[in-house]
A and B are shown apart, each in its own frame.
Chain A
Protein backbone atom coordinates (compact mmCIF):
# COMPACT_ATOMS: atom_id res chain seq x y z
CA UNK A 1 0.00 0.00 0.00
CA UNK A 2 1.33 3.42 -0.98
CA UNK A 3 -0.10 5.06 2.10
CA UNK A 4 -1.86 8.42 2.18
CA UNK A 5 -0.66 10.47 -0.78
CA UNK A 6 -0.63 14.24 -0.70
CA UNK A 7 0.24 16.73 -3.38
CA UNK A 8 1.95 19.05 -3.82
CA UNK A 9 4.63 18.44 -1.23
CA UNK A 10 5.68 22.06 -1.37
CA UNK A 11 3.84 25.11 -2.64
CA UNK A 12 5.03 28.68 -2.72
CA UNK A 13 2.50 31.22 -3.85
CA UNK A 14 1.72 34.88 -3.60
CA UNK A 15 -0.94 36.43 -1.46
CA UNK A 16 -4.31 36.44 -3.16
CA UNK A 17 -3.70 33.35 -5.26
CA UNK A 18 -5.82 30.23 -5.06
CA UNK A 19 -4.21 27.16 -3.54
CA UNK A 20 -5.50 23.61 -3.94
CA UNK A 21 -4.10 20.76 -1.88
CA UNK A 22 -4.92 17.17 -2.77
CA UNK A 23 -5.15 13.96 -0.87
CA UNK A 24 -5.61 10.33 -1.82
CA UNK A 25 -6.46 8.20 1.25
CA UNK A 26 -5.49 4.60 1.71
CA UNK A 27 -7.66 2.33 -0.37
CA UNK A 28 -10.49 0.96 1.75
CA UNK A 29 -10.34 3.72 4.33
CA UNK A 30 -13.66 5.51 4.66
CA UNK A 31 -12.78 8.47 6.86
CA UNK A 32 -10.48 11.39 6.02
CA UNK A 33 -9.07 14.26 8.04
CA UNK A 34 -7.38 17.53 7.19
CA UNK A 35 -5.06 19.05 9.80
CA UNK A 36 -2.90 22.17 9.77
CA UNK A 37 0.40 22.30 11.64
CA UNK A 38 2.04 25.53 12.78
CA UNK A 39 4.66 26.26 15.40
CA UNK A 40 2.26 28.34 17.44
CA UNK A 41 -0.84 26.15 17.36
CA UNK A 42 0.43 22.64 16.76
CA UNK A 43 -1.89 20.28 14.90
CA UNK A 44 -5.29 21.83 14.34
CA UNK A 45 -8.17 19.80 12.95
CA UNK A 46 -9.70 21.65 10.02
CA UNK A 47 -12.35 19.20 8.84
CA UNK A 48 -13.09 15.52 8.69
CA UNK A 49 -15.24 13.30 6.51
CA UNK A 50 -16.88 9.96 7.19
CA UNK A 51 -18.00 8.09 4.09
CA UNK A 52 -17.34 11.21 1.99
CA UNK A 53 -19.66 13.33 4.14
CA UNK A 54 -18.25 16.29 6.08
CA UNK A 55 -18.89 15.65 9.77
CA UNK A 56 -17.17 18.53 11.52
CA UNK A 57 -15.80 21.61 9.77
CA UNK A 58 -15.71 23.82 12.84
CA UNK A 59 -11.95 24.08 12.55
CA UNK A 60 -12.01 25.64 9.10
CA UNK A 61 -10.62 29.13 9.74
CA UNK A 62 -12.96 31.14 7.57
CA UNK A 63 -14.81 31.23 4.31
CA UNK A 64 -11.58 31.36 2.37
CA UNK A 65 -11.12 27.67 3.17
CA UNK A 66 -13.19 24.92 1.60
CA UNK A 67 -12.82 21.14 1.42
CA UNK A 68 -14.47 18.52 -0.72
CA UNK A 69 -14.48 14.79 -0.95
CA UNK A 70 -16.22 13.88 -4.21
CA UNK A 71 -15.44 10.17 -3.84
CA UNK A 72 -13.78 7.72 -1.48
CA UNK A 73 -10.37 8.06 -3.09
CA UNK A 74 -9.89 11.81 -3.37
CA UNK A 75 -10.19 14.99 -1.34
CA UNK A 76 -9.18 18.60 -1.86
CA UNK A 77 -8.55 21.52 0.45
CA UNK A 78 -8.81 24.87 -1.24
CA UNK A 79 -7.76 28.29 -0.02
CA UNK A 80 -9.02 31.27 -1.99
CA UNK A 81 -7.65 33.89 -1.67
CA UNK A 82 -4.55 32.81 0.20
CA UNK A 83 -2.88 34.99 2.85
CA UNK A 84 0.57 34.86 4.48
CA UNK A 85 -0.97 33.63 7.75
CA UNK A 86 -2.09 30.49 5.91
CA UNK A 87 1.53 29.39 5.66
CA UNK A 88 1.73 26.02 7.37
CA UNK A 89 2.07 22.31 6.78
CA UNK A 90 -1.24 20.74 5.86
CA UNK A 91 -1.69 17.07 6.68
CA UNK A 92 -4.21 14.62 5.39
CA UNK A 93 -4.95 11.44 7.33
CA UNK A 94 -7.28 8.51 6.82
CA UNK A 95 -8.71 5.58 8.75
CA UNK A 96 -11.29 2.83 8.63
CA UNK A 97 -14.38 3.58 10.66
CA UNK A 98 -15.08 0.75 12.98
CA UNK A 99 -15.68 -0.20 16.55
CA UNK A 100 -13.65 1.32 19.32
CA UNK A 101 -10.07 0.26 18.87
CA UNK A 102 -9.96 1.10 15.20
CA UNK A 103 -9.70 4.86 15.67
CA UNK A 104 -6.13 5.09 14.43
CA UNK A 105 -5.10 7.57 11.76
CA UNK A 106 -2.54 7.08 9.02
CA UNK A 107 -0.99 10.36 7.97
CA UNK A 108 0.35 11.58 4.68
CA UNK A 109 3.69 13.33 4.29
CA UNK A 110 2.08 16.77 4.35
CA UNK A 111 1.96 19.74 2.02
CA UNK A 112 4.12 22.66 3.05
CA UNK A 113 2.48 25.91 1.97
CA UNK A 114 4.26 29.23 1.92
CA UNK A 115 2.26 32.32 1.04
CA UNK A 116 4.38 35.38 0.31
Chain B
Protein backbone atom coordinates (compact mmCIF):
# COMPACT_ATOMS: atom_id res chain seq x y z
CA UNK B 1 0.00 0.00 0.00
CA UNK B 2 1.19 3.47 -0.74
CA UNK B 3 1.91 5.88 2.09
CA UNK B 4 3.50 9.24 2.76
CA UNK B 5 5.44 10.38 5.81
CA UNK B 6 5.90 13.98 6.78
CA UNK B 7 8.01 13.99 9.89
CA UNK B 8 7.82 17.70 10.64
CA UNK B 9 4.45 18.41 12.19
CA UNK B 10 4.99 22.07 12.98
CA UNK B 11 7.82 24.26 11.76
CA UNK B 12 8.39 27.82 12.96
CA UNK B 13 10.75 30.08 11.06
CA UNK B 14 11.60 33.74 10.88
CA UNK B 15 11.13 35.65 7.67
CA UNK B 16 14.01 35.26 5.20
CA UNK B 17 15.02 31.91 6.68
CA UNK B 18 15.47 28.96 4.37
CA UNK B 19 12.90 26.20 4.38
CA UNK B 20 13.04 22.48 3.85
CA UNK B 21 10.08 20.24 4.60
CA UNK B 22 10.61 16.52 4.50
CA UNK B 23 8.49 14.03 2.58
CA UNK B 24 9.13 10.32 2.23
CA UNK B 25 6.86 7.97 0.38
CA UNK B 26 6.30 4.27 0.07
CA UNK B 27 5.21 2.95 -3.31
CA UNK B 28 6.40 0.01 -5.37
CA UNK B 29 6.82 1.50 -8.79
CA UNK B 30 6.78 4.67 -10.85
CA UNK B 31 5.29 7.54 -8.92
CA UNK B 32 3.69 10.90 -9.34
CA UNK B 33 4.47 13.27 -6.47
CA UNK B 34 2.76 16.45 -5.32
CA UNK B 35 2.91 19.21 -2.80
CA UNK B 36 -0.33 20.94 -1.93
CA UNK B 37 -0.71 24.00 0.27
CA UNK B 38 -3.61 25.13 2.42
CA UNK B 39 -3.45 28.81 3.38
CA UNK B 40 -5.54 29.82 6.41
CA UNK B 41 -9.19 29.75 5.50
CA UNK B 42 -8.59 28.67 1.92
CA UNK B 43 -8.87 25.56 -0.24
CA UNK B 44 -6.05 23.14 -0.71
CA UNK B 45 -4.24 24.09 -3.87
CA UNK B 46 -1.45 22.57 -5.90
CA UNK B 47 2.00 23.98 -5.21
CA UNK B 48 4.01 21.76 -7.54
CA UNK B 49 4.10 18.30 -9.03
CA UNK B 50 6.53 15.73 -10.39
CA UNK B 51 5.54 13.29 -13.08
CA UNK B 52 8.76 12.54 -14.96
CA UNK B 53 11.91 14.12 -16.29
CA UNK B 54 13.98 16.62 -14.33
CA UNK B 55 13.84 15.57 -10.66
CA UNK B 56 14.09 19.19 -9.56
CA UNK B 57 10.65 20.67 -9.89
CA UNK B 58 9.80 24.35 -9.57
CA UNK B 59 6.40 25.49 -8.42
CA UNK B 60 4.57 28.66 -7.61
CA UNK B 61 5.78 31.35 -5.21
CA UNK B 62 9.43 30.35 -5.37
CA UNK B 63 8.99 26.82 -4.05
CA UNK B 64 10.85 23.85 -5.44
CA UNK B 65 11.10 20.15 -4.66
CA UNK B 66 13.60 17.47 -5.51
CA UNK B 67 12.69 13.88 -6.25
CA UNK B 68 15.40 11.54 -5.01
CA UNK B 69 14.37 8.08 -6.08
CA UNK B 70 17.04 6.26 -4.08
CA UNK B 71 15.79 7.89 -0.90
CA UNK B 72 12.08 7.75 -1.73
CA UNK B 73 11.98 11.44 -0.91
CA UNK B 74 10.40 14.56 -2.33
CA UNK B 75 11.43 17.40 -0.02
CA UNK B 76 10.05 20.88 -0.43
CA UNK B 77 12.39 23.86 -0.34
CA UNK B 78 12.35 27.62 -0.47
CA UNK B 79 15.48 29.72 -0.03
CA UNK B 80 13.83 32.65 1.73
CA UNK B 81 10.38 32.41 3.31
CA UNK B 82 7.87 35.20 3.72
CA UNK B 83 5.17 35.77 6.30
CA UNK B 84 2.62 34.95 3.61
CA UNK B 85 4.01 31.40 3.38
CA UNK B 86 2.32 30.60 6.69
CA UNK B 87 0.14 27.63 5.80
CA UNK B 88 -0.20 23.87 6.02
CA UNK B 89 1.74 21.87 3.47
CA UNK B 90 0.79 18.39 2.31
CA UNK B 91 2.87 15.93 0.32
CA UNK B 92 1.04 13.35 -1.80
CA UNK B 93 1.85 10.32 -3.93
CA UNK B 94 0.06 8.43 -6.64
CA UNK B 95 0.86 5.80 -9.21
CA UNK B 96 1.71 6.86 -12.75
CA UNK B 97 -1.70 6.50 -14.29
CA UNK B 98 -4.24 9.26 -14.33
CA UNK B 99 -7.00 7.13 -12.82
CA UNK B 100 -5.24 6.23 -9.58
CA UNK B 101 -5.76 7.51 -6.07
CA UNK B 102 -3.72 10.18 -4.33
CA UNK B 103 -2.49 9.44 -0.82
CA UNK B 104 -1.56 12.40 1.36
CA UNK B 105 0.76 12.77 4.31
CA UNK B 106 -0.40 14.18 7.63
CA UNK B 107 0.76 17.65 6.72
CA UNK B 108 3.26 20.15 8.11
CA UNK B 109 2.09 23.37 9.64
CA UNK B 110 4.48 26.21 8.78
CA UNK B 111 4.43 29.38 10.86
CA UNK B 112 6.52 32.32 9.71
CA UNK B 113 7.34 34.95 12.30
CA UNK B 114 7.66 38.47 10.90
Q: Which A residues are within 8 Å of any B CB, using their own CB?
A: 3, 31, 33, 35, 41-45, 48, 50, 55-56, 91, 93, 95-105, 107-110
Contact = CB atoms under 8 A, between A and B. Distances in A.
A42 B32 contact: no
A100 B98 contact: yes
The DSSP consensus for interface residues of chain B is loop
Of the listed residues A43, A93, A104, A105, the one surrounded by the most CB atoms of chain B closer than 10 A to its CB is A43
Contacts, number: 65
B105 interface: yes
A9 B100 CA distance: 28
B98 A107 contact: no
A31 B102 CA distance: 12
B102 A50 contact: no
B106 A41 contact: yes
- State which size class the interface on B falls in: 20 to 34
A33 B5 CA distance: 21
Of the listed residues A42, A44, A91, A109, the one surrounded by the most CB atoms of chain B closer than 10 A to its CB is A42
Given A43-B90, A91-B44, A100-B51, A105 B96 contact: no
Given A42-B106, A43-B90, A100-B32, A50 B51 contact: no
B51 A42 contact: no
A67 to B, nearest CB: 14
Contacts of B102: 33, 45, 103, 105
